[in-house]
Chains A and B, each alone.
Chain A
Amino acid sequence: MNIVTLAKMEVGETGVVDALQGHGNIQHRLVDMGVVKGSHITVVKKAPLGDPVEVKVKGCSLALRMNEAAMINVAVEGGKQ
């Protein structure tokens, strides 16, 4: 399976969260919002200025900056479109 960071995923791609890099407030916040190992995650769109990125996880839309997206390892399953 192809594991990349969320920041590298294209709009429309979907996958399963594999791991979070590092241990800190950011990671805990992500976990609280449902970005946890095993969650399905889809890249919905990017903001007009290219950053942040909107993802769908556990049925809810989250906005993340690329910095944070780069801390999330995702096993890519495929694109939607």
Chain B
Amino acid sequence: MEQAGKIKIALAGNPNCGKTTIFNNITGAKQHVGNYPGVTVEKKEGHCKFDGKDLLFVDLPGTYSLTARSLDEVVARNVIINEKPDIIVNVLDASNLERNLYLAAQLVELDRPMIVALNMMDIAERMGVKIDLKKLGEQLGAVVVPLVGSKNIGTKELLDVIVNTKMAESIINAKVDYGAEVEPSIRTLTDAIEKTGIIKYPLRWLAVKLLENDEDVVAKVKAMEGTQKIVTLASSLRDGLKNQIDLDFYFAQCRHQFAVKAFNNSVVAVGTSDTLSDKIDRVLTNRILGIPIFLALMWIMFTAVIDLGAYPQGWLDTLFGIVGDYLGNVIVDEQLKSLVVDGVIGGVGSVLSFVPLIILLYLFISLLEDSGYMARAAFLIDRAMRSLGLHGKSFIPMILGFGCNVPGIMAARTLDNEKDRMVTILACPFMSCGARLPVYTLLIAAFFGASGYGGTVLFGMYILGIIVAVGVAVVMRHSVFKGEQEPFVMELPPYHIPTIKGVLMHMWERTILYIKKAGTIILGASIIVWFLTAYPMDVEYSQDFNAARDQVSEQADAQTAAILQSYGFSNIEDNAELNDMFQSMVAAADEEKDAEDSEDQDVQSVQQAEEMEAKPEYPDAFSDLQEKNPTIYAQALPLFDIKTRADDETGALDDKEKAEKLSQSYAARLGRFVEPAIAPLGFDWKIGVGLVACTAAKEVMVSTLATIYSVEADDAHEANLVTFLAEDPSFNPAIALSLMVFCLLYMPCVASLAVIKRETNSWKWMFFSAGLGVVLAYVFAFVVYQLALMAGLGA
């Protein structure tokens, strides 16, 4: 098993024992997160070089037990049985040792050398707990290393013990005593298994599991050939024992006794409970204050995400603008330029600019999770959730759904009851995820920024999402998934100050998922949308735009020549003074326009944008030029006017040409195809394209609109998407509301659908989820649009 210098270590422990912190301390960023084959349990592995040896750590799912009743537990024990790690490191919470030892009692049966990492020694000390490490080691048959994971104390000592293979070899696991009634049966069964010699599992463990009638083990043994005898023997032994003991609980009882014995023999002083944590809890789960505090925390979280996130988001927008401009100048080929600038930067850039918001959201969620508050939140509102037919724990997937539906759907795994899980999975996609946020903020900035109702509209979207999710859950729970509710047995872990490293890694893992999505699905969607909007290239125009543009420039040239002639020269360069003045004017005008553009980035409302448009005709710098040389200024001004007018006319022609081209593009054809169906919701073909494209991911709606409008836009009239939407006469606040509602409820994104398929293991439910989304989106958007029209928002 052991290759030269290579050691494989499995990290096992209860949830909340600090296992992940220790794993992070050891492996740092060198982690690989994947899935166990065939199941959705997260597989975390990490490398570490220590003392010339290559250590491979597997972070097993945190579990309280190792039965066949939960997927996590089956996965954890299968890793140990099948992959046979060289060492098991069992992380025990010293401040909560007795309960933690129950898992240790099951780990010792798996026949691998065990090291106990006794974590949270600082908290145990604060509580007055004193543990005799040597005795604890003797009780378990393990080497004990004390640690404070949150302060990275004891990590080196743990690694020292791991690489000391001699020590590992000398470890002999303790045995759980199953009492005089059962031990003979175990012996009979082990002998029989040994004789057949086909089964590779730890003998005693296998015998115990067969007597316990562990579903998973029994099924596996049955599947092997030549094991018929053993299965029969086990069931006859069970029949013999049935009359003497309660087989269902007997084995667990014995393991608890083992744990209690180990605890009593090694703990010198029991200490008091964690008073600090208790004090905090008295406030946070207070009968009167508990729920208001919970609601306030949620409110602070969302406000902070939106308000603080806006700053870096603006910076990123500017940065992508600069990159786009630069590439636009560097790339010569027109089609490639269009693809890169309009398609890729326009699409992916507008989506990536939301990364700061997502990071912040995950920061808060990680803080809530790691501090132990999330479990309290479930405790506080379980009663309310239950009246809706949901489980208190469903709250966690739902809240995670605010970040991204994918981890939310995956978090539904924490629900053991199949029906509760299915209902939560199907309800979760209606929670307004971070990817919908760009759609809201865009439309709110364009149509509600000035009204002061922007925040209310945003809040309303989240509330509508919750209402629909709950409604779906209630209906499903009382129809398709009728039945008994899951037991609510949940640990309320002591409060911890989350470690910075832990929170950052948590945050990073999730954010990277979003960025990867932007890099793959959204990039692909952006390119497809760009192609659909940019092609076909050879469209038939209503007029010859090139000829029209030529005409404009010829006319301007003629007028300029006429004026110059009246001044007495044929070319403007003949008079240096006049030429300088003219060039200064052009430069000043350009400068003014650039400044306006960059201000546009921060335009929060249409009104502001309009104020800017209504500025005086000539830039401020012109008055300086006039003062400097009034005569030449008067001469140059008509020339400048001619140039400006010509530029405007050319710009208008460009606009018209692009609009004509776009209206004949594949995208427009597609959009027009769906237009009759979506017209009652107030949507035109452009939104139709967006709706088709955003089946890939909701935020693609923004990048699609950005691509469509940037194709419409031209160099002379550059502004951001907010302004374009606000100025588009076919758009209005009623449509914006309708579109927001539609995006909220519309079918889950591709990534979510894939996860739904995986988690429910059924195509049926995946298609059901997609269909439900489309139907609800249509109905709600229709109602909202009609109501908005009645409220006079249609203008």
Q: Give me the interface of A with B, judged by CB distance under 8 Å.
A: 20, 23, 25-34, 36-39, 45-52, 54, 56-65, 67-68
Contacts and interface: CB of A to CB of B under 8 A. Distances in A.
B279 to A, nearest CB: 13
Given A20-B249, A47-B379, A33 B489 contact: yes
B188 interface: no
A23 B248 contact: yes
Interface of B: 64-65, 67, 69, 95-99, 102, 248-249, 252-253, 256, 260, 273, 285-288, 290-291, 375, 378-384, 386, 392, 416, 485, 487-494
Given A28-B69, A29-B416, A49-B384, A65 B487 contact: yes
A25 B65 CA distance: 13
A24 to B, nearest CB: 9
A25 B416 contact: yes
A23 B95 CA distance: 31
A30 B253 CA distance: 12
Given A32-B67, A47-B379, A56 B98 contact: no
A45 B67 CA distance: 30
Given A63-B488, A68-B487, A25 B69 contact: yes
A74 B64 CA distance: 23
A33 B384 CA distance: 24
- 5 nearest interchain CB pairs? A49-B383, A32-B65, A26-B487, A61-B492, A65-B488
Nearest to A29: B489
A57 B490 CA distance: 12
A45 B99 contact: no
A63 B67 contact: no
Contacts of B380: 47-49
Residues of B contacting A: mostly: helix
A34 B98 contact: yes
A41 B693 CA distance: 57
Given A52-B382, A52-B383, A68-B487, A60 B96 contact: yes
Contact of A63 (B288, B382, B416): B382
B491 A61 contact: yes
A56 B96 CA distance: 11
B491 A60 contact: yes
A54 B69 contact: no
A39 B67 CA distance: 21
B99 A34 contact: yes
Given A47-B285, A47-B380, A50-B383, A36 B489 contact: no
Given A48-B286, A61-B492, A65-B488, 16 more contacts: A28-B252, A29-B416, A33-B491, A34-B102, A45-B287, A48-B287, A48-B288, A48-B291, A49-B380, A59-B95, A59-B96, A60-B99, A62-B490, A63-B375, A63-B378, A63-B492
Nearest to B416: A25
A16 B509 CA distance: 44
Given A20-B249, A47-B285, A52-B382, A30 B489 contact: yes
Given A31-B249, A52-B392, A59 B273 contact: yes
A45 B286 CA distance: 9
A23 B380 CA distance: 28
Given A25-B69, A63-B488, A33 B64 contact: yes
A51 to B, nearest CB: 5
B60 to A, nearest CB: 16
Given A50-B383, A51-B383, A34 B375 contact: no
Contacts of A48: 285-288, 290-291, 380
A20 B248 CA distance: 11
Contacts of A46: 287
A26 B392 CA distance: 16
Contacts of A60: 96, 99, 491
A33 B381 CA distance: 22
6 contacts: A29-B487, A33-B64, A48-B291, A50-B383, A61-B491, A67-B487
B178 to A, nearest CB: 15
A34 B291 CA distance: 29
Nearest to A56: B273
A32 B490 contact: no
Contacts of B378: 63
B124 to A, nearest CB: 10
Given A36-B253, A48-B291, A65 B382 contact: yes
B743 to A, nearest CB: 34
Nearest to A32: B65
A64 B379 CA distance: 9
B382 A47 contact: yes
A51 B382 CA distance: 8
B485 to A, nearest CB: 8
A6 B285 CA distance: 20
Contacts of A62: 489-492
Given A64-B488, A64-B489, A36 B249 contact: yes
A23 B248 CA distance: 7
Nearest to B485: A67
A58 B383 contact: no
Contacts of B288: 48
Nearest to A31: B252
Given A48-B287, A52-B383, A68 B489 contact: yes
Given A26-B487, A47-B285, A68-B487, A52 B102 contact: no
A16 to B, nearest CB: 13
Nearest to B246: A23
A46 B291 CA distance: 13
Given A26-B489, A28-B69, A33-B491, A58 B382 contact: no
A38 B259 CA distance: 13
Contacts of A23: 248
Contacts of B260: 38
A28 B246 CA distance: 13
A41 to B, nearest CB: 12
A49 B388 CA distance: 14
A2 to B, nearest CB: 23
Nearest to B16: A60
A62 to B, nearest CB: 6
Given A32-B64, A49-B384, A27 B375 contact: no
A36 B64 CA distance: 14
Contacts of A27: 248-249
A22 to B, nearest CB: 10
B255 to A, nearest CB: 9
B487 A47 contact: no
Contacts of A63: 375, 378-379, 382, 392, 488-492
Nearest to B93: A60
